[in-house]
C-alpha cells in the first residue's frame, strides 16, 4: 500500500449510523484504509501523516428538490402568496428546456450524487430529455396541477397516458419517473386521491408541496387570507365558478391542517415526500411519522418567501427522514446544494450540524431511492468526499 495519509474532519459521516465529530479517514492512495474516530485512528496508524483538517468528510450530498426548468428566472424574494402569481406565473414563458439544461449543468458542477426535480407540465420536452439523456441519477417528478374536480377524470386519464409514454424513456442509472401533485390546494381532492392510488399501484415516487406558508393553513382552516385570495384570482381565469369547498371536497374548518387534510384523503398512504412542511402542528408531525412519509426542507426558499422556519428537531425526534433541497433559483437563489447546506447551518444555528450532513446524504437517498456509498476500509477514496467549505 502507498503512503498513508490521515485526514481529520470536524464531522465524518461514513454513510452508516450517525455522523461523528472529530472523525478521520486514513487513506493509502486511492483506497480507504480506515474511517472512524480521530484519536483511535491516530493510535492505530501512528505512521500515517496528519496533513490536513477539513470541515466535513461524507458521501456526496443529494439535492432532493429542485425545479430545473425555472433556471432562467431571476431570483426574487416576496411573500409566498405573492411570489406564485408575480414570479412563477408571470415568468412562465421563460420556463423550459433551455433553463433546465442550464440548471442541470449547475447541479452537476456542484457535485451532487442525485437530484429530485419537478417538471412543469407546460414543458414535457424537459421530462423527455431528463429521462433519456441527463447524466445524473434521481427522480424526475411529473407535476400535476388541476384544482377543478369537474376535470379530475380527464386530467387523470392524461397523466396515465403521459406516465406510460415517459416510462419507456427510463434508463438504468439514469433518472426515474415520479409524480408531483403540485400542492395541497392546487389539485382537487378527487384528483389527489386518484393520483395517490395510482402512484401506489405503479410504484411511482411522489412529491407534494405541503404547509409551505402560514397562509396555506389559513386557507384550509377558514378559506380566507392572502393565499385564498390569490388562489381565487388564479382559478377565476380558468374555472370562474369554482369554489374552495369544491376544490377541497369539503368546507374549510378550524381543526383542519394541510397535513390532516391530505391524511383524510388517504394521500399519505402512498408514502409521499412532503416538501417544505414549515407550518405544521405536533399532531401533523406524528401523522407524517406514522404514515412513513419523508420530508424535504429548503431553508433558503422558506426564508426568502417568508414561510417561517422548519421544525427540524421535532421531525427528527419523531423519527421522520429529513432531506435537503434547493428549490428553484427563483426562490432558493442557486441550485448548489453546498450553498443550501451552508444556509441551513446559519438558519438552524442551534441544530446539531451532524443532522444537516445526514439529511443531505441519507435523507436525500431515502427520498430518491438511491444508494449511499460507504466510507470504510477497502472502499475507493475520492477527494470528492471532502465537502467544499462555505
Ligand atoms: Zn418547489
Task: State the distance from the centre of ligand 1 to the C-alpha of 313, rounded, in angstroms.
Answer: 22
Task: State the distance from the centre of ligand 1 to the C-alpha of 15, rounded, in angstroms.
Answer: 27
Low-confidence ranges of the chain (pLDDT < 50): none
Task: State the distance from the centre of ligand 1 to the C-alpha of 267, rounded, in angstroms.
Answer: 18
Cα–Cα nearest to 104, from 127, 130, 139 = 130
Grid cell of 241 as nine digits: 365558478
Domain locations in the chain? Answer: 4-59+374-385, 62-368
Task: State the distance from the centre of ligand 1 to the C-alpha of 20, rounded, in angstroms.
Answer: 31
The per-residue pLDDT for 2 is: 63
Strand order in the sheet with 4-12: 31-37, 20-28, 4-12, 49-57
Alpha helices per DSSP H over 188-292: 189-202, 214-222, 226-238, 244-248, 258-265, 282-291
Task: State the distance from the centre of ligand 1 to the C-alpha of 24, rounded, in angstroms.
Answer: 36
Task: State the distance from the centre of ligand 1 to the C-alpha of 213, rounded, in angstroms.
Answer: 12
The catalytic residue positions are: 212
Distance CA 358, CA 161 (A): 37
Task: State the distance from the centre of ligand 1 to the C-alpha of 83, rounded, in angstroms.
Answer: 12
What is the CB-side half-sphere exposure of residue 275 using CA atoms within 13 A? 25
Cα–Cα nearest to 113, from 389, 376, 369 = 369
Distance CA 153, CA 168 (A): 24
Distance CA 102, CA 88 (A): 18
Say what percent of the chain tops pLDDT 70: 99
Task: State the distance from the centre of ligand 1 to the C-alpha of 327, rounded, in angstroms.
Answer: 5
Task: State the distance from the centre of ligand 1 to the C-alpha of 207, rounded, in angstroms.
Answer: 9
Ligand 1 ion: nearby residues, β-carbon < 5 Å? 327
Q: Is 4-59+374-385 assigned to CATH 2.40.50.420?
A: no
Task: State the distance from the centre of ligand 1 to the C-alpha of 254, rounded, in angstroms.
Answer: 26
Computed from CA positions of residues 219, 140, 315, 9, in that sequence, does the dihedral angle turn out positive or negative?
A: negative
pLDDT of 103-160, one tens digit each?
999 999 999 999 999 999 999 999 999 999 999 999 999 999 999 999 999 999 999 9
Task: State the distance from the centre of ligand 1 to the C-alpha of 199, rounded, in angstroms.
Answer: 19
> CATH for 62-368, among 3.40.50.720, 3.50.50.60, 3.40.640.10, 3.20.20.140?
3.20.20.140
Task: State the distance from the centre of ligand 1 to the C-alpha of 332, rounded, in angstroms.
Answer: 9
Phi, psi of 315 (to 5 degrees): -65, -45
Amino acid at each position: 500500500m502507498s503512503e498513508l495519509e490521515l485526514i481529520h474532519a470536524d464531522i465524518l459521516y461514513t454513510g452508516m449510523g450517525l455522523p461523528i465529530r472529530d472523525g478521520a479517514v486514513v487513506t493509502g492512495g486511492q483506497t480507504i484504509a480506515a474511517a472512524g474516530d480521530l484519536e483511535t485512528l491516530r493510535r492505530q496508524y501512528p505512521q500515517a501523516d496528519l496533513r490536513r483538517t477539513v470541515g466535513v468528510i461524507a458521501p456526496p450530498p443529494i439535492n432532493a428538490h429542485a425545479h430545473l426548468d425555472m433556471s432562467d428566472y431571476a431570483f426574487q424574494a416576496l411573500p409566498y402568496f405573492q411570489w406564485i402569481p408575480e414570479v412563477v406565473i408571470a415568468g412562465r414563458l421563460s420556463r423550459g428546456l433551455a433553463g433546465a439544461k442550464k440548471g442541470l449543468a449547475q447541479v452537476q458542477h456542484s457535485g451532487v450524487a442525485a437530484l429530485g426535480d419537478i417538471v412543469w407540465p407546460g414543458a414535457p420536452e424537459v421530462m423527455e430529455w431528463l429521462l433519456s439523456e441527463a447524466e445524473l441519477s434521481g427522480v424526475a417528478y411529473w407535476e400535476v396541477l388541476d384544482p377543478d374536480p369537474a376535470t379530475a377524470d380527464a386530467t387523470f386519464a392524461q397523466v396515465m397516458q403521459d406516465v406510460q409514454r415517459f416510462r419507456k424513456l427510463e434508463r438504468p442509472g439514469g433518472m426515474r419517473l415520479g409524480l408531483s401533485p403540485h400542492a395541497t390546494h392546487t389539485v382537487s381532492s378527487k384528483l389527489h386521491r386518484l393520483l395517490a392510488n395510482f402512484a401506489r399501484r405503479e410504484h411511482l415516487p411522489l412529491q407534494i408541496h405541503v404547509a409551505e406558508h402560514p397562509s396555506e393553513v389559513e386557507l384550509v382552516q377558514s378559506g380566507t387570507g392572502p393565499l385564498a385570495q390569490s388562489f381565487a384570482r388564479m382559478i377565476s381565469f380558468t374555472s370562474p365558478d369554482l369554489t374552495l369547498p369544491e376544490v377541497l371536497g369539503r368546507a374549510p374548518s378550524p381543526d383542519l391542517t394541510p397535513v390532516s387534510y391530505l391524511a383524510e384523503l388517504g394521500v399519505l398512504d402512498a408514502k409521499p415526500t412532503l416538501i417544505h412542511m414549515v407550518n405544521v402542528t405536533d399532531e401533523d408531525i406524528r401523522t407524517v411519522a406514522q404514515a412513513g412519509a419523508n420530508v424535504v426542507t429548503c431553508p433558503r426558499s422558506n426564508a426568502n418567501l417568508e414561510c417561517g422556519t422548519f421544525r427540524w428537531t421535532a421531525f427528527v425526534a419523531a423519527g421522520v427522514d429529513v432531506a435537503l433541497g434547493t428549490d428553484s433559483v427563483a426562490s432558493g437563489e442557486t441550485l448548489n446544494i453546498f450553498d443550501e447546506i451552508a444556509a441551513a447551518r446559519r438558519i438552524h444555528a442551534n441544530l446539531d450540524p451532524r443532522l444537516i450532513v445526514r439529511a443531505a446524504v441519507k435523507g436525500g437517498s431515502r427520498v430518491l431511492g438511491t444508494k449511499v456509498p460507504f466510507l470504510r476500509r477497502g472502499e475507493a477514496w475520492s477527494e470528492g468526499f471532502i465537502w467544499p467549505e462555505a
